């Protein structure tokens, strides 16, 4: 069984391989598989975007399955924003710093106890002749008023993970990967594959 991961992010590919290796003989990134495709992620949920990307890549891949994820930050005081627009919250072509600055501005008058948020990751596994599996992983946190830490990316410096007493950007990669939303989503997919095997 060959799996293509709909990403070229080396960290993401390594994390997925570590969790799903027992179920596939070969796991490749898009680049490894020789696939160049630009899927427009225009869904209004993480699940819709992950499913669309996995199914469109499977349509052109010489593989048995394709795995895709769509992730972002949901802030309760902003009605779930930035949500599916997390990567482009400050507009197309803007970077993490601009997204974080816009988020801090939107949250400047929100009291500390109302700054609850969560990272969400939807994982979709599209397979030939079978229904696409979609599972969610979430991790709860609090949004800080200023960034802390230099690891990670995106909103990690603002996302305070209470059990660790640190932001995601203050955790090293191995610590973050133990508790991340993507890891939780991947483990839910793994549990579904185990159920199918049973």
Size (the chain), residues? 198
The predicted structure's pLDDT at residue 25: 93
How far is the C-alpha of 106 from the C-alpha of 124, rounded, in Å?
Answer: 31
Cα-Cα-Cα-Cα dihedral of 72, 74, 75, 77, to 10°?
Answer: 150
**pTM for this entry:** 0.91
**Strand 159-161 to strand 166-167: parallel, antiparallel, or no bridges (unpaired)?**
antiparallel
What does the pLDDT look like over 75-84, one tens digit per residue? 999 999 999 9
The residues that are catalytic are 70
| Contact between residue 32 and residue 67 where contact means Cβ atoms under 8 Å apart | no
When pLDDT is cut at 50, 70 and 90, the band that residue 165 belongs to is: very high
Tokens 């427009």 belong to residue: 40
> Does residue 28 register a pLDDT over 80?
yes
């Amino acid at each position: 069984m060959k799996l293509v991961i709909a990403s070229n992010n080396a960290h993401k590919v390594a994390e997925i391989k570590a969790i799903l290796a027992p179920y596939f003989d070969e796991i490749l990134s898009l680049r490894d598989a020789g696939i160049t495709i630009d899927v427009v992620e225009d869904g209004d949920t993480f699940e819709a975007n992950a499913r669309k990307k996995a199914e469109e890549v499977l349509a052109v891949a010489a593989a048995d399955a394709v795995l895709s994820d769509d992730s972002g930050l949901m802030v309760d005081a902003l009605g779930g924003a930035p949500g599916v627009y997390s990567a482009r919250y400050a507009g197309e072509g803007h970077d993490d710093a601009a997204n974080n600055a816009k988020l801090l501005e939107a949250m400047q008058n929100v009291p500390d106890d109302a700054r609850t948020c969560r990272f969400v990751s939807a994982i979709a596994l599209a397979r030939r002749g079978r229904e696409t599996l979609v599972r969610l992983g979430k991790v709860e946190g609090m949004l800080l008023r200023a960034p802390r830490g230099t690891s990670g990316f995106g909103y990690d410096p603002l996302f305070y993970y209470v059990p660790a007493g640190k932001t995601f950007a203050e955790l090293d990669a191995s610590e973050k990967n133990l508790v991340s939303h993507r890891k939780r989503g991947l483990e839910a997919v793994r549990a579904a594959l185990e159920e199918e095997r049973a």
